[in-house]
Structure 1
Amino acid sequence: MAKEILAKIKLQCPAGQATPAPPVGPALGQHGVNIGQFVKQFNDKTKDLQGILTPAEITVFKDKTFTFIIKSPPASVLLKQSAGIVKGSPEPNRQKVGQVNKQQIREIAARKLADLNVSNLESAMRIIEGTAHTMGLKIVD
Structure 2
Amino acid sequence: MAKQLVTQIKVQVTGGQATPAPPVGTALGPHGVNIGQFVQQFNDQTREMMGTTLPVVISVYNDRSFDFIIKSPPAAVLLKQAAKVAKGSGNPLKDKVGTVTTEQLKDIAKTKMADLNAGSIEQAAKTVAGTARSMGIQVVD
Question: TM-score when scaled to structure 2?
Answer: 0.97
Q: Which residue of 2 aligns with 1:86?
A: 86
Identity of aligned residues (%): 55
Q: Quote how far apart the aligned CAs of 1:53 are.
A: 0.6
The CA deviation string for residues 45-84 of structure 1, in whole angstroms up to 9 with x for no partner, is 1000001111100000000000100001100000000000
Question: Which residue of structure 2 aligns with residue 38 of structure 1?
Answer: 38
1:78-126 deviations in Å (ceiling 9; x for gaps): 0000000000011101111100000100000000000111221111101
> SS where residue 48 of structure 2 aligns?
coil
What is residue 104 of structure 1 aligned with on the other side? 104
In structure 1, distance between residues paired with 2:5 and 2:104:
39
SS at match of 1:55: strand
- Cα deviation for residue 26 of structure 1 reads 1.3
Q: Counterpart amino acid of 2:4?
A: E
Runs of 4+ in 1 over 3 A off after TM superposition: none
Q: How many residues align?
A: 141
Please say which of residues 92-101 and 117-126 is displaced more in the overlay. Answer: 117-126
Partner of 2:75: 75
Give the whole-Å Cα distance in 1 for the aligned partners of 2:69 and 2:134: 28
Structure 2 residues not aligned, in runs of 5+: none
- Letter of the structure 1 residue corresponding to residue 73 of structure 2: P
**Secondary structure class of the residue paired with 1:30:** helix
Q: Aligned equivalents of 1:3 and 1:125: distance in 2?
A: 40
Shift of 1:27: 0.6
Q: What residue ranges of structure 1 are gaps of 5+ in the alignment?
A: none
Q: Say if 2:26 is the partner of 1:26.
A: yes
Letter in 1 for 2:59: T
Structure 2 letter corresponding to 1:58:
I
1:8 equivalent to 2:8? Answer yes
Distance 2:101 2:42 in 1: 32
Give the CA deviation at 1:2.
4.7
Quote the offset at 1:3 in angstroms: 2.1
Q: Secondary structure at the match of 2:91?
A: coil
